[in-house]
Structure 1
Amino acid sequence: MQQTVVDDHTLPRFEAGDFTGVSERMRQAFERDGVLVLDNMVAPDDCDALKARMHDMLDTFDWQEHRTVFSTTSKAHAQEEYFLSSGHTTRFFFEEGAVDGNGNLTCAPDQALNKLGHAMHDLDPVFDRFSRQPRFRALADGLGMIRPLLLQSMYIYKQPRIGGEVVCHQDATYLWTEPQTCLAFWIALEDATLENGCLWGIPGAHRLGTAPKLRFRRTGDDRGTVTDTLDDTPFDEATKVPLEAPKGTLIAFNGLFPHLSGPNRSDKSRHAYTLHMIDGTASYPADNWLRRPANLPLKGF
C-alpha cells in the first residue's frame, strides 16, 4: 500500500494488480474517506480496448445533427431533450470551448467531444464486458452494495487545451435514491495528472450529511430539470486533495463524496470511464432525471 500525504491528511493508495476482494484496510479507508484509490485495477490492454471501441463508435455519430454542449457551469444541456432522453441510449456531448456562438465546431469533431453517455454498458458488447468485470462486482460487494444495479456509464475525454472544469459536486445529487446508495467507479484510461485535469476530492466530507447538498430532478411538467438547494453551506475546498491516477487506476467513491476537476490546458488528453451504480434495495424516485423504459430495465453485474 502506498500513501499520498497532503497537508495533514494521509490518503492511502492500494496496489490492486492481484485484487480478489476488498480487504479490511480497504473497507476502513473507504468508510473513513469516502474514496478508495486502486492502482493497476484495470489492465492496460483493457483500457486500450475501450478507447479503440470509442474511436469506432465515433463513425456512427452525425456531427451535423447534434451540437449539445455539456457543461457543469452553465448546465444549459439539462433542459434539452437530447440530454433528458439519454438514460437509455448513447449520446455524444461537446465541450463548451469547441462550439462557437453560431453552433459551429472550432476544432476537429473527434477533438471536440466532452463525453459519451449514458447506457453504453447495456447497449454495446465491448462496454458491457468492460463494465461487468468480475473484479468490479467483487469491489461493489465489498463496499457494501447488496443488489448493485448499473445505472449510468460515461466515457469522458477531457480534451487537450479545451477540457472544461467540473465544479465541486456530489454524484448523489444527480442519481438520488432513498436511502442514498450511489457508488461510482472512475477508471483512468490514460494517465490523469495535475497538468491535464485529474480529479480532486474532499476526504471525509461524505460523512457530514445523510443527503447531498443539492437535488437535481425533473420538473413537475416533465419538460426540464430543476436543482433544489437542501444545504447552502459551501464545500470546504481548502481541504481537497488531488487524486492523480496512472492509467488503469480505479477510483471508487461514495455518492456523497465531494469531488471536482480543473480544466485541461495541457496538450495531453485525459480519457476516463465512469460507471455509476445504485442499490436495488433502495427506492429510485420517479422524478430522477435519468429514466429507463420498461424494455431496458436496470441490470446488475
Structure 2
Amino acid sequence: MENPLSPELLSQYRREGCVCVPGFLTDDEANSLRASCRRLVEEMDPTQHTPTIFSTSDHNQSRSSYFVDSGDKVHFFFEPEALDENSKLKVDKHRSLNKIGHALHWLVPEFKKVSFSTKMKAVARQLRFVSPAVVQSMYIFKQPGIGGEVVPHKDCTFLSTEPQSCVGFWFALEDVTLENGCLWYSPGSHNNPTSRRFIRNPDETGDLTCFTAPPDPDDPTKYIPIPVPKGTLVLINGQVDHKSKKNTSPNSRHIYTFHVIERHDTTWDPRNWLQPTPEMPFTGLYENEP
C-alpha cells in the first residue's frame, strides 16, 4: 500500500483535522488485536494490579503512580461502574476495563506488528513526518452499558511538542455506531491552538498530575459524529477537538489507538505526564527500533 491516503482524504485531513480511511485494517489484523487483548485480560489477575479507575471527567487516575508509571508498561484501567465501594470487581473482568495502556505497541507482539507495519509508515510519510516516533498506545473498550464518556479534548494537551506535531492513529476493531459511542469531532478546530497542558504536578504534595489551565471554551454545536465500520483508520490531528459519548447500548466498541509525534526540529515538553524511560525510549516509526 504505497499511498493509503488519496489526495481527497489528505485534503480533508488538512482542512478538517480528522479523516476516516475505511478498510485500512484487514479482518485478520483487527481480529488478531482483539484476540491478543483477550489473552492479556485472561492472564490479568485483578488482585495484582492497583484498582485504578480511568475517567476523563475527574481524572481520578492522576492520584495514582500506577497511571504515571504506565508509559513503558501494560497497565489496566477500570470503568467506575465496574468496581464496588471496596474497589472489588462487580462484573466479569472482561467487562470491567476502560482501557489498557500505554506500551502495547512495543511490548505485545501482535500490536507491535500492526503499529510498525508498512502501511503505518506510508501514512506517516504522506503526512510529511520526517522522524516520527510512537509515544503511547491504548486499547479502549467502551464496555456495553457502562463504557464511559470521553469529554471534549485535544490530544496535544496530553502529548505536547513545540511546535505541535501529535497525530492519533485510531482503529475500529468492530463496527462503531452512534449507539455504542462513536467519535465526534469539530472540523477545523485544529486551527485553534491551546496552551492547556496535562503535566506532572511540580507540587509534590498534591496529585501526581494536573492541568495548567481550565478547559478551552467549547461549542457542542460544532461537533459531527463519525460512525465507522470495523477496520477503519481514523486520523486525528493532535489539535482537533474530539469526544465520545457514554456507551449505553448492549454492544461493545473496541478500538486500538497510538500516537505519533515528530522528533525532527521539535521539542518534547519535559512537563508532559508521559516521559520516555531508559527501558523504553520513544520508538522510531520508520526504523522500528528505540
Superposed pair shares fold, TM > 0.5 = yes
> Helix, strand or coil for the counterpart of 1:186?
strand
Aligned equivalents of 2:45, 2:263: Cα separation in 1? 35
Question: What TM-score do you get using the length of structure 1 for normalisation?
Answer: 0.90
In structure 2, runs of 5+ residues without a counterpart are 286-290
1:88–1:291 contact (8 Å) kept in structure 2: no
- Percentage identity across aligned positions? 39
- The equivalent of 1:146 in structure 2 is 130
Aligned equivalents of 2:42, 2:144: Cα separation in 1? 21
1:132 maps onto 2:134 in alignment: no
1:53 maps onto 2:36 in alignment: yes
Larger deviation, residues 141-150 vs 261-270 = 141-150
Which of these residues, 83, 91, 96, is aligned with residue 80 of structure 2? 96
- Residue 213 of structure 1 deviates from its aligned partner by 5.0
1:151-175 deviations in whole A, cap 9, x for unaligned? 0100000000000000000000000
- Residue 105 of structure 1 deviates from its aligned partner by 1.4
Letter in 2 for 1:114: N
Aligned equivalents of 1:269, 1:167: Cα separation in 2? 19
Aligned equivalents of 1:77, 1:134: Cα separation in 2? 35
Aligned equivalents of 1:161, 1:203: Cα separation in 2? 28
1:111 maps onto 2:95 in alignment: yes
- The equivalent of 2:158 in structure 1 is 174
- Residue 25 of structure 1 deviates from its aligned partner by 2.0
- The equivalent of 2:140 in structure 1 is 156
> Helix, strand or coil for the counterpart of 1:277?
strand
Aligned equivalents of 1:68, 1:60: Cα separation in 2? 18
Aligned equivalents of 1:246, 1:235: Cα separation in 2? 28
- The equivalent of 2:267 in structure 1 is 283
Larger deviation, residues 125-134 vs 157-166 = 125-134
- The equivalent of 2:211 in structure 1 is 227
- The equivalent of 1:6 in structure 2 is none
- Residue 112 of structure 1 deviates from its aligned partner by 0.4
- Residue 292 of structure 1 deviates from its aligned partner by 2.2
Letter in 1 for 2:199: R
Question: What TM-score do you get using the length of structure 2 for normalisation?
Answer: 0.93
Shift in CA distance, 121/233, structure 1 to aligned 2, threshold 3 Å: closer
- The equivalent of 1:34 in structure 2 is 17
Aligned equivalents of 1:233, 1:77: Cα separation in 2? 21
1:183–1:277 contact (8 Å) kept in structure 2: yes
- The equivalent of 1:217 in structure 2 is 199
- Residue 264 of structure 1 deviates from its aligned partner by 0.4
Within a 5 Å distance, the mapping from 1:243-258 to structure 2 comes to 243-258=226-241
> Helix, strand or coil for the counterpart of 2:221?
helix
Aligned equivalents of 1:77, 1:240: Cα separation in 2? 27
1:19–1:41 contact (8 Å) kept in structure 2: no
> Helix, strand or coil for the counterpart of 1:150?
strand
1:117-163 deviations in whole A, cap 9, x for unaligned? 00111111111001111111111111122211000100000000000
Aligned equivalents of 1:245, 1:239: Cα separation in 2? 19
2:168–2:259 contact (8 Å) kept in structure 1: yes
